[in-house]
Amino acid sequence: MAIARSAYRRYKVIDSVLRNEFRRYPTIEEIQTACYNALDLKPSLDTLEKDFRNMKLPEPDGYDAPIAYCRQNRGYHYKDPNFSINEVSLSYKDVDSIKEALEILQSIGSSRVSESFNYALNKILVSYKEEFPDGNSMRKIIETESISGSRGFEHFEILFLACKNKTPLSFTHYSYQKRRFKSVIVHPVLLKEFDNFWYLLGYSEGHNALRTFGFDRIYEPMLLNRKFIPTSADIVNNYYKDIYGVYPIENQPKQEIVFFTSTIVSNYFEAYPIHGSQTSKKNDGGCVFKLQLVPSVELLKLFRSYGSELIVLEPKWLIKELKN
């Protein structure tokens, strides 16, 4: 059973008081006062007695804390003076479970998380190997797509922190289409991965609107000491809700998109739907699909990738765009 956050905060105070070498055998009233000083909340004596019982419970419900009352000194103490809830020993089963979870994170996250996070994972795994040298390392059984050395990913940490701490950014953006560099100021809100590429979503002062910037086109990002312009959480949550990809086609609203695919290709679309709004209907020699989406650059690329096996039926402007 999970330990409530409020209870855990009291456990931390109780633990620190019982480990205080300068004031041994504290009374329950002294522990109560310590909780009030640390948490600005005075727990009842009954609550503290219940905390003692819960801390003494075996794992995973408690900490196996050796709390005892000394009648001679009229106070509480740890039977083991070296005990602390912050230094609970791990069993081989505990370590195996943690290693399994960490190695899954490493398999899934390798190039998708910051270098410091990967370093922290490796540090934890190394410490466990030192503590349990006979432990068997797991063979890799999960492989995800990742491209090492992709341009712009070295800025992951500063972009992540800018989003987390709501700090405006200044960087140089390169446009592949216009083949030129431009300085922009962005108030970042979200990092998004799509098709193994990373993007930054934020309010652009130059565009006076939300814009998406590919990591590979961001150069020399710099945190700015200026007022952050927030974007409503509802707007952010809905920005990518009705789009396949990250770059919506300018001036095109959400609309119905209808396309026909051959029988073979239809199997892929049925197994991996493009969007939650996708519906399908079997037809002679194939299948007709319908989507309610904001058209995007990525959607056009996807349609083109299937060549003559996929034919757009609606809307007409999209048919013309694909022909061009």
Kindly report, residue by residue over 122-181, the tens digit of the pLDDT.
Answer: 655 555 554 445 545 555 666 666 666 678 888 888 898 899 899 999 999 988 888 889
Given this model, what pLDDT does residue 41 score? 87
| CA-CA-CA-CA torsion sign (223, 224, 227, 228) | negative
Q: How many residues does the chain have?
A: 324
Backbone torsions φ then ψ of 188, nearest 5 degrees? -70, 145
Q: Using CA atoms, how far apart are residues 84 and 15, in angstroms rounded to an integer?
A: 6
In three-state secondary structure terms, 256 is: strand
Mean pLDDT of 265-275: 91
**Confidence at residue 104, expressed as pLDDT on a 0 to 100 scale:** 64
Under the banding of pLDDT at 50, 70 and 90, the label for residue 14 is: very high
Mean pLDDT of 91-107: 66
- Number of continuous H segments (helices) and E segments (strands) in the chain: 10, 11
Reduce the DSSP state of residue 234 to 3 states and report it. helix
| Averaged pLDDT for residues 96-105 | 68
What confidence score (pLDDT) does residue 238 get?
85
8 — pLDDT class (breaks 50, 70, 90): confident
CB 263 within 8 A of CB 285: yes
For helices 5-18 and 45-56, give the axis angle rounded to 10 degrees.
Answer: 80
Taking all residues of the chain, what is their mean pLDDT, rounded to a whole number? 84
Q: Where are the beta strands (DSSP E) in 38-106?
A: 67-70, 75-78
The number of beta carbons lying within 10 Å of the beta carbon of residue 99 is 19
Q: Which residue has the tokens 């086609």?
A: 249
Please indicate whether residue 316 or residue 239 has the higher confidence score (pLDDT). Answer: 316
pTM above 0.75, yes or no: no
Element spanning 201, H or E: strand 197-204
